Amino acid sequence: MYRFYVQPQKNMFTNSLIGYEMLIRKYNNNKWQLPQDFTSVPIVKQIELLKQIGTVLLLKVDSISFNLNQNQFVDETMAQALIETQKHIYPLTLVVELTEDAGVPRINLDTVKKYAQRFLEFGIELSIDDVSTGENVYQRIEPLLPCAAEIKFPLQNLRKENRLAEIPGQLLFWRKIARTYHLRLIVEGIESTADDELLNELGLPLRQGFFYEKPHLLRLPGDPKL
């Protein structure tokens, strides 16, 4: 059995919930676990769950976010399924977070941009995940920014890479980029009061992290009690 765990995305300046990120989990050995291979989760099952969750959250939040790597993002079967999902959950906005998977061949950015523009025509928004880490540096993703709606800055990734001293400067840089391209900037991986206070000082209201709420199972009507 598959279900989505959800983690809230909040505007801390208005104390409001703006959306949820969907995080797929599999029920195995009497507990919910991360799938060993996310690409092995059937598209049909993921889309079915997105539609069900969209129906549950309709009019409660502005958006739900769903993670895809570049190969999935430009897959025609997935594209058609996402378009149908957006129609089904309207006026809720479907946000596709474009992630980076180690070992997955990179797709030509012109192809990614073409799909992003197509999705936008149907109201589906592009979010570029994990900016400033891996391949998602400014020079690499700049061609996608005009057709994006959101960028996400991962505090947790910079911690793992021992780049703590870079965080304030990187946040200021991406704040400037977000304002230039009229993007939402969501800071994720917030785990402490110090993180929270830093973002207050930098005027960055959109946030996601364990400090506010951990991901939790969103039960659907008819779900068994597991």
Task: Identify whether the C-beta of residue 159 lies closer than 8 Å to the C-beta of residue 189.
Answer: yes
Residue 212 has a pLDDT of: 97
Which two structure tokens, joined as six digits, stand for 39?
Answer: 């690409």
Instruction: Please give the Cα distance from 222 to 225 (Å, whole number).
Output: 9
Own/partner contacts of 16-19, CB < 8 Å, gap of 24 or more, are: 17/60, 17/61, 18/61, 18/62, 18/63, 18/206, 19/61, 19/62, 19/63, 19/64, 19/65, 19/93, 19/95
| Residue 68 β-bridge partners | 98
- pLDDT tens digit string along 52-61? 999 999 889 9
Any idea what the Cα angle at residue 191 is, between residues 186 and 194, rounded to 5°? 95
Pairing state between β 206-208 and 2-11: antiparallel
Tokens of 40: 């092995």
Q: What is the pLDDT of residue 182?
A: 98
- The predicted structure's pLDDT at residue 169: 97
State pLDDT tens for residues 23-40. 999 998 889 998 887 778
Kindly report the pTM of this predicted structure: 0.94
* Per-residue model confidence (pLDDT) at position 219: 85
Please classify residue 171 by burial: count the beta carbons closer than 10 Å to its beta carbon, then call 0-12 exposed, 13-18 middle and 19+ buried: buried
Classify residue 181 as left (phi > 0), alpha (psi -120 to 50) or beta: alpha
pLDDT tens for 142-191 read: 999 999 999 999 999 999 999 999 999 999 999 999 999 999 999 999 99
- Return mean pLDDT, the chain: 93
Residues 6+ away with beta carbon under 8 Å from 148? 116, 125, 126, 127, 128, 181, 183
